[in-house]
Amino acid sequence: MTTDQRPRPAVEPVPGDVRSAMSGGGVWLDLGLLTVRVRSTVPELAAPLCSVYPGMVEIDPRDWADLHVELAEGAGPRRWLRRQSRFTCDGERPFEPFPADHALPLFEWGTNWVLARRMNDVLLLHAGVLERDGLALVMPALPGSGKSTLTAALSLRGWRLLSDEFGAFDPQTNQFRAVLKPVALKNRSIEVIRAFEPTAVLGPEFAKTRKGTVAHLAPSAAAVALRGVPASPGAVVFPRWQSGSATQWLPARPKVVFTTLAFNAFNYAAMGASGFQAVVRLTRRCPAWQLIYSDLDDALHTLERAWPEVRERALSESAP
């Protein structure tokens, strides 16, 4: 089985055009929940950006962007010795400079940092989210969970990726919105995903970053085409990768679901009462399990088998 291969927009800009646009007025990335305008004087950003945001990089100016980010080469004598890139967003500079050839990871982390701090109109869970049958599968990020690996694998088997990092739940509409960015795979996950799906489109590998080696998996054309379409709450699954373990599928208690969702969210406290109420609604609405696995294919089959129950429960919830 391969990913949906719908035709991409007819005129996709080539990296050369993207590079010159970024050094001028910028390019626009519509991620679903928000639009990011990117300017860059670091030439190393254009090619990997185009490869991991396929069909998403727009050169034509838009009237509005939610974030205006800028990557600039460092000034001073360093410019000639070891070139750097610095991330800035409206005066905020969350990270120290990276080497110039690590512009893409810097853009990814910088953008994540800024949007997690600013987009307080929605509850931002720290979770991977995928969609099937209009329903969201929410996988909270816990240390050692293998969340990104599982998110990447599911996105390569027909589940629509909404986000690998942000479960953006809109308390007004009770729906998850896409924050579509490439899935950041780290260290061994890179090889695992290459072996799992040899046709997977991965960007360049960046060695020796602050999180080890990183490579980014491009979202599928279907995920890109549908990034404006939200998903209703479906199920919460806590993945845990455990070397050599048989696949286990265990019901999770509401107490665990509530605390995990709330206390791993980026802006739970800032959301105040509406954040609390949103997590209560999600906990009541979503069946939840723990998924312990070592074999990716088997983990995916387990999820597929469980999904009809999620669908039925969602149908009965929405019945009058």
Contact string (CB under 8 A) for another protein, positions 119-138, x = contact: xxx-----------------
What is the contact mask toward another protein in residues 267 to 296, using x (rule: CB under 8 A)? Answer: --xxxx-x----------------------
**What minimum distance in Å lies between the beta carbon of 39 and another protein?**
7
Q: Which of 87, 83, 80 is nearest to 99 (CA)?
A: 83
Stretches 57-65, 136-144, 216-224, 309-317: which one binds another protein (CB under 8 A)? Answer: 57-65
Site for another protein in 213-232 (CB under 8 A): none
Instruction: Name beta bridge partners: 309.
Output: none
By CB under 8 A, the count of residues binding another protein is 18
Of the candidates 148, 74, 145, the residue with the CA atom closest to the CA atom of residue 112: 148
Give the residue, chosen from 22, 30, 39, 303, that forms a contact with another protein under the rule CB under 8 A: 39
Q: Quote the least distance from Cβ 30 to another protein, whole Å.
A: 12
| Inter-residue contact 216 to 206 (CB < 8 Å) | no
Residue 185, Cα to own-chain centre: how many angstroms? Answer: 11
Q: Which two tokens stand for residue 318?
A: 């929405």
Close Cβ partners of 76 (under 8 Å, ≥ 6 residues apart)? none
Residue 315 one-letter amino acid: L
> Can residue 116 be called a binding residue for another protein (CB under 8 A)?
no
Judged by CB, which is closer to another protein: 118, or 281? 118
Place of tokens 């001028």: 24
- Six token digits for residue 188: 């061994």
Q: Quick check: 79 binds another protein (CB under 8 A)?
A: no
Residue nearer to another protein on the CB measure, 68 or 194: 68
